[in-house]
Structure 1
């Protein structure tokens, strides 16, 4: 009997895909992508900032890999519609099975960094999902590393927890919300009210 991993390509998740509650791809394996960093980016067609991976030879980010059974990328490609799916097989290091690995990244042509550009906020409900995943998979130290290895924290954070705008928002326990709030405050980030 074949498992979902056998002969399947994998994706490398570095944001909301780290939160296993947001998809049914299993099993997930801890991984690192060398030559990439994370960044919050605004898109012309978006009303909030998106987390993307950006090539950077001197950087490395943690995340997870998980199989895409039968190589059927349709659901993930739809979920990641603003991103390009790129080959990352040679730069993702993990203890899982040998497989082709893809990473999703917003193309520079879609989200150029230009002076005076409108800045869409980071949704707190989106950040909650990402940090819940990092806390589950990497613990508090890994969630702290997420902050340290992500750029764009000058982007305002919109507190939309009461009425989440992020489509995969999760209900977090008070203790987890408290940890996230303290981590933001420690970095001088004060979410503004919706």
Structure 2
């Protein structure tokens, strides 16, 4: 049996945050990223949402050994795991590919915009920088909607459970993009 794969487009692009070793760069056609604001959470959640066929987002696909989704489904508990094989472009032997997404109707909307957690954003940008370089970081910001939310600076005491230490270059890159977004 061939292992199934997932397409990661946020923190799962950062290989330091997971144990899935067979990972390859990929692109999800017809998808965009969005900061989703849901009731009961103080923090915005990065999700992938269906978009125009001309839209696409970069990320990683990685094998889920033996199809054992339990740990990954627990990590992504706020999301639905959806089939996405036909939408994912890649240069690997991957067969079945899933993507985690939060449909707009899955959780009640938040009454006001939630904060984007800086320690989480740092992890995502670090992953994109490692895999796709500065140009990939630029594409991450450009293909993600919802930047009008406030950013909670928790770098001194990270709230994100998989927070990583950033290099000075990575920190400057995140800060520069946030500054450009206003």
TM-score by length of 1: 0.89
Call closer, same or farther: CA 1:112–1:62 in 2, change over 3 Å.
farther
**Separation in 2 of the partners of 1:113 and 1:93?**
32
- Which residue pairs with 2:70 in the alignment? 74
- Which residue pairs with 1:102 in the alignment? 98
| 2:37 paired residue among 29, 42, 55 | 42
2:77 matches 1:84:
no
Give 1:57 deviation, angstroms.
2.3
Runs of 5+ consecutive residues of structure 2 not aligned to the other structure: none
* Aligned partners of 1:42 and 1:48 also within 8 Å: yes
- Which residue pairs with 1:170 in the alignment? 164
- Mapping of residues 1-194 of structure 1, within 5 Å: 7-58=2-53, 59-111=55-107, 117-188=111-182
Give 1:187 deviation, angstroms.
2.0
CA deviation map 1:20-50 (0-9, x unaligned):
0000101211100011100001121222000
Larger Rg belongs to: 1
Runs of 4+ in structure 1 over 6 Å off: none
Q: CA RMSD in A?
A: 1.3
TM-score by length of 2: 0.95
